[in-house]
């Protein structure tokens, strides 16, 4: 289980999405190599002209169900079916399974282009910046003092995989100050051995 301090900070960040994150269960299950490869491939699609010289500050723990789905009230599967009709039932099933518990996030840096700048940060480091005793504005000031070249704080979920259909589905959010941020679902496919974006869909915006 994550500490109460972590949960308080997560609740503050989740206010970006308009809701509080429930108590998180932490899983020791490692990400599969195919998940790591798919997420790295997506980072390679980000426009370096937009991001550079900014750096993505990525939390080392994966996003879970409570952060990805806001105001859905148990209709996660129906939401994905409606918003991402290209996704197979198998990839949705696997995504909802791995999304249920937070896990260590692993991004193989050797698979990410050098002009896509990112930094993995420990949960404890972000916790100190987003102290529950401080208001959100002061917390973001502390964040940008610690990471002056940051594009924002990124959270990425584990990826659901359908090997037969060569699909991967995951969630990613970018928060960048105050109550500003967006979260979205990403569906990739790999018909010829290279992961490519098949669809993206906004999950929430604030």
Compute mean pLDDT per 10 residues along the chain, 206 residues long, and list them: 38 42 54 97 80 83 92 90 97 97 94 92 90 78 93 96 97 87 96 94 92
- pTM, to two decimals: 0.85
Predicted local confidence at residue 137, as pLDDT: 81
The pLDDT of residue 74 is 85
Give the ranges where 89-154 is alpha helix by DSSP (H): 89-99, 123-129, 136-146
Between CA 69 and CA 29 the distance in angstroms is 22
> What pLDDT was estimated at residue 82?
95
């Amino acid at each position: 289980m994550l500490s109460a301090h972590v949960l308080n900070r997560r609740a503050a960040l989740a206010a970006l999405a308009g809701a509080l994150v429930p108590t998180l269960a932490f899983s020791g299950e490692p990400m599969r190599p195919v998940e790591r490869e798919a997420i790295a491939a997506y980072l390679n699609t980000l426009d370096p002209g937009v991001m550079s010289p900014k750096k993505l500050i990525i939390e080392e723990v994966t996003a879970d169900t409570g952060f990805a789905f806001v105001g859905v009230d148990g209709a996660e599967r129906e939401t994905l079916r409606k918003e991402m009709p290209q996704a197979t039932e198998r990839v949705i099933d696997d995504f909802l399974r791995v999304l249920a518990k937070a896990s260590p996030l692993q991004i193989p840096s050797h698979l990410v282009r050098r002009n896509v700048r990112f930094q993995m940060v420990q949960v404890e480091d972000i916790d100190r910046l987003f102290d529950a005793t401080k208001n959100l504005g002061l917390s973001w000031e502390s964040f940008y003092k610690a990471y002056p070249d940051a594009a924002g704080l990124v959270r990425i979920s584990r990826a659901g995989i359908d090997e037969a259909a060569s699909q991967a589905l995951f969630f990613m959010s970018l928060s960048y100050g105050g109550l500003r941020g967006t979260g979205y679902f990403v569906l990739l496919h790999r018909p010829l051995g290279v992961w490519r974006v098949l669809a993206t869909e906004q999950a929430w915006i604030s």
